[in-house]
Amino acid sequence: MAEPTKERVSGHPSRPPRWSQRRRLLIVLALNAALIVGLVVAGLLSNSMSVLAAAGDTAADCLALVLGLIAVALRDRRPDHPHAQRPIAIAALVNATLLLLVTLMVVIEAVSRLREGSPPVEGVPMVVVSLVTVVVMLAGAFVLGRSAAGEDVHMRSVLLDALADAAAAAAIAVAGVVILAAGGLYWLDPVLALAVSALIATAAVQLVVKAVAALRGRVVEFDGG
């Protein structure tokens, strides 16, 4: 008889590295928490909407990671229960929802700046904090490992978040360099914030679809790991 409530992933569906998941999530949570302060300070000093957007995204990621750790602990209490994966799917759904909310707020502020005229932005803090963010996010992705893409919906969401944040931070660094070199072009900051928002929203919507499917007991296939 089929077991519709169990989630099948590529690799080894019945033996996810559960003890390793907790350790990896804790390390990534520590990296994100340490980064938030730097992003907020740099965003305020540079008056950069894109940097502040990254700070909001990182704060949402931290909350999602805490929920994910709780979900993993709940799952591991009764790993053979038919609904053992349900907390994981719920954590992924909350993660995606938080990302969409943060994205919406960033879009509203970015559009407002474009309409009213973009204020001056300091390029140096943008570049420095963005390069640091790239390093931190890539370190987080390395800790999670390529296998995270195929373990479950939450681990996949955390890995996608890390890679998307690294790409966004690299783009912000490039914008900061352009602003420094041109001595203007401040409109690049809100435009970039909109581009980052589109990237994050796309990944978040895909996660919502997968998480809802898992909650409804459907088989969830992954193309990663």
Q: Is the pTM of this model over 0.85?
A: no
Regions of the chain where pLDDT drops below 50: 1-16, 220-225
Q: Are 161 and 32 in contact (CB under 8 A)?
A: no
Give the model confidence (pLDDT) of 69-90 as tens digits: 877 777 777 766 666 667 777 7
Give the model confidence (pLDDT) of 173-191 as tens digits: 887 888 778 777 778 778 8
Q: Which amino acid is at 110?
A: A
Q: What is the pLDDT of residue 48?
A: 76
Q: What is the pLDDT of residue 135?
A: 92
Q: Structure tokens of 110?
A: 């970015």
CB count in 10 Å sphere of residue 78: 10
* Answer CATH for 18-215 from 1.10.150, 3.10.350, 3.30.1380, 1.20.1510: 1.20.1510
Q: Are 46 and 125 in contact (CB under 8 A)?
A: yes
